Amino acid sequence: MRDEIETGGESAYLQAGTPAYRRASRILFVAGFSTFATLYCVQPLLPDFVREFGVTPAESSLSLSLTTGILAVALLVAGAISDGIGRKPVMVTALLGAGILGIVGALMPGWHGFLAVRALEGLALSGLPAVAMAYVSEEVDPKSAGVAMGLYIGGTAIGGMSGRVLTAIVTDLGSWRLAVGVVGALAVAAAVTVWFALPPSRHFVRRAAGLPALVRAWRGLLTDPALLGLFSLGFLLMGGFVTVFNYIGFRLSEPPFELRPAIVGAVFLVYSFGVVSSPLFGGWSGRFGSNRTLAVAVALMVAGLVLMEIDSLLAIASGIALFTFAFFGAHSIVSAWIGRRAAVARGQASSIYLFCYYLGSTLAGTLGGLFWHSYGWTGVAAFVGLLLAIAVGVTAGLLRSR
């Protein structure tokens, strides 16, 4: 049976409360979970890479930065590929490829081979984030799409958290190679689940996105000052967020704290705050306005960063929790704002935003290692503080835009 139907036809949309809608929502949660578990599973392992491969902290961060960098670039074309061959095949291929590569990476004896596999994982994973959003927009009834999208985003947050925590625990009990292999196996299982359980596309229309059309769309998007501000916030906020989580493990595993890997990995449990803050800030933005609510979210990120500078586990834990809570709130506000601001070419607008988002993760996450090497955690905090200061300025400019 063909999975993708090339014409919209009269098929009904997935409606909230129906078995097909509930199944699709659960499977999208699984897809988001597995994607972000695979992407971020190496983050708590950076100190292990330093010890085993003899690399510097900045070099160890390449295991994440290379993946997100390739992902960022590939996202710009993944949507166009899915326009030609269908949503579900691209998502299944992405998960299957990433899972197999994860298992291969766990067996790689050398650092450069491991980095090459992680780069290929970024390429594979690009076939899911934007494509999953396109699937929801096409197949789910508009009145029900918000909940389905919320479950997908919730899956990404929980996946990012669980991938980090799982690898930290398995590494503490066994080895980092076993941990990476387990996450890869989970991605393979997710690919099989999506293939057999996700309802087929019934409103997909096969089309080719020509280069002239893409250029026209991008020209319109990149000449809108408000959209440029929102795109830059993706770079700045995600860059600061990933930098903090890249190097907080080093801070907590060294004196005066010297925490075990499993305890350091537990830091990533704060990702659960993202599941709460995303819809919460979304509701506040509808009530008080996106401009003001975004300003509050960025200010809370600054406050969380300040708390993390204090040499107290309670202060650091509180700071990480506040920083994470505010980041996911800001991310949800900016994502929704882009959809409203881009009257046309919303898909391309989302792709550009995600490109900036992961580019921030790649560049800032690696640069932060240089600050750690030279100045320790204070240098990392100063670097992230600079990114947030620029974000405050951009947000102030958006406060004046309508």
3-state DSSP assignment of residue 14: strand
Say whether the peptide bond before residue 199 is cis (omega within 30 degrees of 0): no
Cβ–Cβ < 8 Å for 16, 187: no
Q: Determine the pLDDT at residue 1.
A: 38
Q: Determine the pLDDT at residue 3.
A: 43
Q: Which CATH architecture has domain 210-401?
A: Up-down Bundle (1.20)
Concatenated DSSP letters of 158-218: HHHHHHHHHHHHHHHHS-HHHHHHHHHHHHHHHHHHHHHHSPPBSS-------HHHHHHHH
Topology annotation, domain 16-201: Growth Hormone; Chain: A; (1.20.1250)
Q: Determine the pLDDT at residue 122.
A: 93
pLDDT digits (tens, 9 = 90+) for 61-73: 899 889 988 988 8
Q: Determine the pLDDT at residue 345.
A: 62
Q: Which residues of the chain have pLDDT under 50?
A: 1-10
Q: Determine the pLDDT at residue 209.
A: 59
CA-wise closest residue to 346 among 359, 337, 355:
337
Long-range pairs of 51-56 with CB within 8 A, sequence gap ≥ 24 = 52/176, 53/110, 53/111, 53/114, 55/111, 56/369, 56/373
Please enumerate in sequence order all residues whose Cβ is within 8 A of that of 391, keeping only pairs 6 or more positions apart, or say none.
233, 236, 237, 240, 298, 301
**Domain residue ranges of the chain, discontinuous segments joined by +:** 16-201, 210-401
Q: Determine the pLDDT at residue 387.
A: 96
What would the two tokens of residue 277 be? 């803050």
Q: What angle do CA 97, 101, 102 make, to 5 degrees?
A: 115
CA-wise closest residue to 137 among 47, 38, 13:
13
What letter represents residue 110's amino acid? G
Q: Determine the pLDDT at residue 142.
A: 65
Rounded distance, CA 316 to CA 258, Å?
14
Q: Determine the pLDDT at residue 97.
A: 96
210-401 shares the fold of 16-201: yes
Rounded distance, CA 348 to CA 231, Å?
12
Long-range pairs of 341-349 with CB within 8 A, sequence gap ≥ 24 = 341/224, 341/226, 341/227, 341/230, 342/221, 342/224, 342/227, 344/217, 344/220, 345/217, 345/218, 345/220, 345/221, 347/79, 347/130, 347/134, 348/79, 348/214, 348/217, 348/218, 348/221, 349/221, 349/227
Rounded distance, CA 204 to CA 134, Å?
9
Going from the C-alpha of 256 to that of each of 248, 253, 259, 280, 310, the distances in angstroms are 13, 9, 9, 36, 12
